[in-house]
Amino acid sequence: MRFGIDIAQKNMPWNEVVSRVKFAEDLGFDCAWGFDHLASSPGDRAGETFEGMTTLAALSGVTHRIRLGLLVAGVTYRHPSVFAAQAMTVDHASGGRLNLALGAAWNEEEHKALGIPFPRAPQRFDLLADTVEIVNRLFSGEEVSYDGSTASLRQARLTPRPVQHPRPPIWIGGTGPRRTLPLTAWFADGWHAYGTPRTLEPYTRRLDDLAEAAGRNPAEIVRASTLSVEGEIGDVCRNVSEWRESGWDYLVCSWPREGRQTLEKFAERVLL
């Protein structure tokens, strides 16, 4: 089982973002995950918010081993071809350490405030499907023409290809049975969902069925969720064991309120 750390680059100065990622790298975490918003979320205090993809590009230059990603990148913020070019750039800047996790976006208030179109849910999921298809094709380095329901390309090509071959891992976030899980089963290398092993069990079974119907081995799809490392370390370890025994491959640890000392204890018991 692998473990990532949720940095969530908000309400902190830039030097703290860098410090947290370096600290997580030293502890042995697999990936530092940022969030993809341009302004404070509803209910949050107003504070610093650093854009996601440029954050990953900057962090590429101050880290060496830890992988980098957004959990998840909202497809409404960027045209699919722009997103593919940004992802290719980050993969090169990091020497092939990008994880590419995508979602349909949710924060309507943020979009309205910043003048970004926020389509209805069916159109956002159409855009998610088009983005996955376009990014996957553009990463080939070949000329691409594509007619989707939300985006089209005409003889488009991006070079160079990403460092990772055939491409950076693509993850999809969410549990929607009609759109998210089928898309995950067809395209994704990884799947992230919030919940517990028990509440997510029906979705894992559904994903298995869909992957088999698509001609894929379900075990090829990384199953990931989120873990709190707050509280007694023994309880945290038992929680990790429950996830592992339920067949999950990856846990993204929330940054604890107690800070670095809590993460050090977790690393000593679980990562080392």
Total of domains in the chain: 1
| Domain annotation covers residue 256 | no
Chain centroid offset of residue 210 CA = 21
Residue numbers of the chain with a pLDDT score lower than 50: none
* 228: nearest Cα among 198, 266, 200, 197: 266
Domain range spanning residue 191?
Answer: 2-224
Residue 42 pLDDT: 62
- Give the CA count within 13 Å in the CB-facing half-sphere of 43: 1
Secondary structure of 105-150 in HEC code, one letter for each residue: CCCHHHHHHHCCCCCCHHHHHHHHHHHHHHHHHHCCCCCEEEECCC
Nearest alpha carbon to residue 68 among 86, 81, 48: 86
Closest CA to 56 of 3, 116, 11, 99: 99
Q: Is the dihedral of CA 146, 152, 155, 161 positive or negative?
A: negative
Both tokens of 199, joined, read 């509440």
Q: What is the DSSP letter of 10?
A: B
Q: Cα dist. 6→45, 227, 259 in Å?
A: 19, 10, 12
What digits encode the pLDDT tens for the residues 87-139? 999 999 999 999 999 999 999 999 999 999 999 999 999 999 999 999 999 99
Domain assignment present for 125 = yes
Query: Is 253 domain-assigned?
Result: no
Bridge partners, 170 (sequence order): 100
CATH classification of the domain holding 85: 3.20.20.30
Quick one: CA dihedral 24, 199, 36, 138, positive or negative? positive
In a domain, 245, yes or no: no
Tell me, yes or no, whether 213 lies in a domain: yes
User: What pLDDT does 8 receive?
Assistant: 84
| 98-103 and 144-147 beta bridge pairing | unpaired
Read off the pTM: 0.95
pLDDT tens digit sequence for 174-187: 999 999 999 999 99
